[in-house]
Amino acid sequence: MTQQQQASIITDQMRAAIGKESPSVTYEIDNTGCRQFARAAGYTDPLFYDEAHARSKGYRGLLAPSGFLGHPLISPGQPPRMPGGAGGLDIPLKRVLNGGTDVEYFDDVCAGDVLTATNKLAHISEREGRMGQMLILSTETTYRNQAGDTVAVMRGTTIRY
């Protein structure tokens, strides 16, 4: 069998989506969310569980553990409100893999903060992998707090195959 060069699956629609900011989504950082995430990651530091302790160490409230930037707000009967990014694209590949995560902090995120996030598709590439044709989507989500300061940027890589 001869190796065939597959046609590109990157469409004009995908290219046009690069760099477009999504509508913003709100994430509430609360005590229970911080504690639940910290417990799941196995933290024992009281900074994530005991509000008085966190304040005694100079934090506004419980520190949000690394990687915790809130949960999307859910309304029954509606899909979760997540920032757009690659959401609206017609992608002919059904399977999804999480390729990687990069979270960069510019300030502390603490319980009581309300974050506003916008997301954009930063980059698309494709390659022929072990599992066939693969599309690699890089997204970038910027989180601003209630004071309007950018506190974190999350860069994610999603692989469709």
Interface contacts to another protein, rule CB under 8 A: 36-43, 45, 57, 65-68, 71-72, 97-105, 108, 155, 157
Q: Token digits for 102?
A: 């990069």
Q: Residue 159 to residues 23, 24, 88, 125: CA-CA distances in angstroms?
A: 23, 24, 16, 10
Report the nearest approach of another protein to the CB of residue 11 (Å). 26
* Nearest CB to another protein, comparing residues 8 and 129: 129
Nearer to another protein, 11 or 46 (CB): 46
Residue 85 exposed, middle or buried by CB count within 10 Å (0-12, 13-18, 19+) = buried
Task: Give min distance, CB of 74 to another protein, in A.
Answer: 9
Q: Which is nearer to another protein, 69 or 124 (CB)?
A: 69
The rounded distance, in Å, linking the Cα atoms of 66 and 27 is 15
